[in-house]
Amino acid sequence: MMSTFSLILAIITGISGVFWSIKKLYIMMCSRDQHKKIFLQKSTNMYQQSKNTYSLVISYCSIISEFISSIFPILLLVFIMRSFIFEPFRIPSGSMMPTLLIGDFILVKKFIYGIKNPITQTTLINTGHPKRGDIIVFKYPKNPALNYIKRVIGEPGDKVIYNIITKQLTIYSNSINDITCAQLLPIVYSNIIPSNFIQIFNNDENGKVNSSFIQIKPNQTYYHGIRLIQTTESFNNMEHNILTMIPPGNQNLVNTYDQHIKHLTSEWLVPEGEYFVMGDNRDNSADSRYWGFVPERNIIGKAIIIWMNIKKQHEGIWPISIQLHRIGNIR
């Protein structure tokens, strides 16, 4: 699994580094006065021979090489920061509502789960592993060119059960042989209230049903959509809000769940080295229930902070506002 963007950035940084090294070596070989004299002499010759095409080409090449070498320190800093420390992402969908909204810009801490080769994503130094409740960014197992963001629900060895009717989880940690379960993880659901989010359904030109979300004020009434239900889900000494749909949504979706022989429908045993993830917008998230587990090598890092939110009226329309109240830590 190769990161194309990281590879391109590494190549560009390497090329600029070569130009930068040549420039520094040239300066070291010449004294300051000699270098200035040579530079002035070259500038004079270029000016006098400006009509000469060859001289113009040399002049342009000199300017280009100077520019390439000058941006090397910036590229190197960006490469190190993006590859090993932090990487920015933008939330494109509502699958993590209400925790993360469309238009949120987040920072992902990359070194928390290990120092990885930015090109091949192989772990060089192991610094930790994802825990239940962590919000992670990862490469979609079915298409590594896409980045997904979800919440870790099951760790390796866990048995995860999702009740499609009650919208509640049951997790057995450290399951053994798919039959004996070591420990039932306490999960508490509380503060069940109508949310401020309305899901609207529309038909496109081809007759396909699409949905979108709007946020209304607490006392506002909206009749052209379904109001989602907000619930506080608590486990692992952490709590976060989730959204569900009442009425319970399309029960036929269970037929599209990722199934394994020996397991019942809506039940998954997480393999070693992989994780079960779900979106907080439970009825509007394509996650491990549908396409399976996330290998640890696919994980990019942990989402830690929202640093900006740009609100849009509709997709494709210019942003209308920056919502400063969205800035803050992610939980």
Would you please indicate which residues are annotated as catalytic (active-site) residues? 95, 150
Closest C-alpha to 22, from 61, 77, 56: 61
Question: Which residues lie below 8 Å from residue 269, measured CB to CB, with a gap of 6+?
Answer: 158, 159, 160, 175, 178, 260, 263
> Residue 35, exposed/middle/buried by CB under 10 A (0-12, 13-18, 19+)?
middle
Dihedral of alpha carbons 42, 43, 47, 51, sign: positive
Question: DSSP readout, 81-99?
Answer: IIIIIEEEEE--SSTTTTT
Starting at the edge strand that comes first in sequence, how are the strands of the sheet with 267-269 ordered? 183-185, 168-173, 159-163, 267-269
* Separation CA 153–CA 209 (nearest Å): 29
Paired tokens of 253: 């979706």
Decide if 182 contacts 175 (C-beta within 8 A).
yes
Which residue bears the tokens 């192991």? 126
* Separation CA 270–CA 153 (nearest Å): 10
Decide if 270 contacts 263 (C-beta within 8 A).
no
DSSP state of 284: G
DSSP state of 66: H
* Separation CA 184–CA 219 (nearest Å): 39
